[in-house]
Amino acid sequence: MSPRPAPPRGARADNLLAVTEPARALVSAGALAAGLPLLRLAPRGDGHPVLVLPGWLASDASTRTLRRWLGGLGHPTVGWDLGRNRGPRPEVVDGVRTLVERLADRHGTRVSIVGQSLGGVFARRLAERSPHLVRQVVSLGSPFAGVAPRKRPPSGAGMYQAYRELRAVEKVRPARPLPVPSTSVYSRWDGVVDWRTCLQQEGPTSENVAVHASHLGMGIDPAVLWVVADRLAQPEDAWRPFRRPTRFGLRSLFPEE
């Protein structure tokens, strides 16, 4: 595979990335279909439970491909079963925690959480508050570094405005690492959020991994699926940072950064 060009920059470029999001997500879907034979070579872990959280205004239907993929790798995988993600309402925050508690109790081990976009923000906040329940967090295009704390959960309109503001951010500092291992998957090609808002401070158990995916295509992009599988395959007490695969041309799926 040949290297992809760098993403365009500037206000017009941001608009171009935004309007081409659906088309680029379809490209990821096509790449997934073509790359399935190689993806079968992805690392496999110990089969611990995984919770997958959807993005803003999305439901479990949006994470179906990702959950099937993880289930095929041997992980008991569930969606959140809370309808559309309309923001951090009290019943949602409590519902996610209850679900993680049940999974941990059922399987006798901590739960890994994979969150797409806003779902990744939820996952990180739960890990901060209940690290005894969470084994690790993998966020996909999640703007946690640009989400300011609020005294009250924002309304639907407030969340939409917050996302718009994340495209106009000028300066943002990487978020602090979590008390559990965490991987933030981000893309400079993201047409919904500023990729800088998806960064955390890197450390012994925290990292940022770049991909070429669009925001909407994160859950079906071959490179993203490989990263998620590789992260979930990490031993619980011996987590190591992600290394781009070098076999079969897979390295070209990841930017040279």
Query: Is the pLDDT score of 155 beyond 60?
Result: no
Q: Where is 186: in which H helix or E strand? A: strand 182-187
Lowest mean pLDDT across 71-75, 151-155, 172-176 = 151-155
User: How many CB atoms within 10 Å of residue 227?
Assistant: 24
Q: What is the pLDDT of residues 32-80, one digit of tens each?
A: 887 777 888 899 999 999 999 999 989 999 999 999 999 999 999 999 9
* 33-to-39, 40, 186 alpha-carbon distances in Å: 10, 12, 22
Which residues have CB under 8 Å from 87's CB, separation 6+? 56, 118, 153, 154, 155, 156, 158, 159
Euclidean distance between the first and final Cα of the chain, in Å? Answer: 17
Write down the pTM of the prediction. 0.86
Summarised one tens digit per residue, pLDDT across range 82-108 is: 999 988 888 888 999 999 999 999 999
Distance CA 213, CA 188 (A): 8
Three-state DSSP at 51 gives strand
Question: Rg of the chain over CA atoms, in angstroms?
Answer: 17
- For each of the domains in the chain, give its residue range(s) and CATH number, in order of start: 11-38+46-148+157-253 (3.40.50.1820)
Say how far apart CA 123 and CA 142 lie, in whole Å.
10
Per-residue confidence (pLDDT) for residue 151, from 0 to 100: 43
